[in-house]
Amino acid sequence: MSSILSHSIDEYIKMVTSFHGYPAPGVLIGGFMVDLAYTKLPKDGLYEVICETAKCLPDAIQLLTPCSTGNQRLKVIDTGRYAFTLYEKRSGEGVRVYLDWTLLDEWPEIKGWFLKLTPKEAQDEGVLIREIKEAGSDICGMEKVQVKLDSLNKRKKSSISICPSCNEAYRTSDGALCPACKGSVLPYGRMSKTPSKRHKSA
Ligand code: ZN
């Protein structure tokens, strides 16, 4: 049986379970996708990733590459397609790997899961995981990509202001109020704040 970068499949399933909460089919397939992308690129590159879905795939990338949302080397641009592009940070040269539904006829359980043809309660998780292990990266398509680096609009460095409305620090470049106070970007309203020193004595 194949492996995922330096990990055996079973090792990788354990990593996924610990990080993601359970061995989600999408994260397992994502492991093979990352493995495939790495085999096509020079070993000495400095890589970043654009992931096209917010679901499952970012966790495979964060488990197997140095790219995370926190270090900003992983960007999610959610097109809803099960795909990511791994590219060299300075040259923009990279590969896009995607789950190719046209290759799924051999793998009925994966096809039913991926295209949501099989209702959740009718899915056989054991068969699904077995098919995923057997298929490996055979169900993936790949294409060369040249990333337009200037279009990634890296956030400009900004000084910090204190918002006159919420009294929290934010980027001055965002305007006279922080984005939260300016508009309804957050799904909750103003909180009644307790200064942190009082939390400690409570
Ligand atoms: Zn504010």
| Per-residue tokens: 6 | 């330096």
Q: What is the pLDDT of residues 94-121, one digit of tens each?
A: 999 999 999 999 999 999 999 999 999 9
> Do residues 99 and 180 share a domain?
no
> Do residues 165 and 132 share a domain?
no
In a domain, 192, yes or no: no
> Do residues 135 and 161 share a domain?
no
In a domain, 193, yes or no: no
Which residues surround the ion ligand 1 when the cut-off is CB under 5 Å? 163, 165-166, 178, 181
Q: Tell me the residue ranges of DSSP E strands in the chain.
A: 3-4, 7-8, 47-51, 74-76, 83-88, 93-99, 140-146, 160-162, 169-171
Q: What is the pLDDT of residues 33-49, one digit of tens each?
A: 999 999 999 988 999 99
pTM (predicted TM-score) = 0.89
In the reported structure, the alpha carbon of residue 156 is separated from the centroid of ligand 1 by a whole-number distance in angstroms of: 20
> Do residues 37 and 130 share a domain?
yes
> Do residues 64 and 109 share a domain?
yes
In a domain, 191, yes or no: no
> Do residues 101 and 164 share a domain?
no
In a domain, 199, yes or no: no
In the reported structure, the alpha carbon of residue 174 is separated from the centroid of ligand 1 by a whole-number distance in angstroms of: 11
In the reported structure, the alpha carbon of residue 166 is separated from the centroid of ligand 1 by a whole-number distance in angstroms of: 4
In the reported structure, the alpha carbon of residue 163 is separated from the centroid of ligand 1 by a whole-number distance in angstroms of: 5
Looking at residue 100, which CATH number applies to its domain?
Answer: 3.30.1330.130
Q: What is the pLDDT of residues 128-153, one digit of tens each?
A: 999 999 999 999 999 999 999 987 76
Structural domain boundaries enclosing 74: 3-151
Number of domains into which the chain is organized:
2
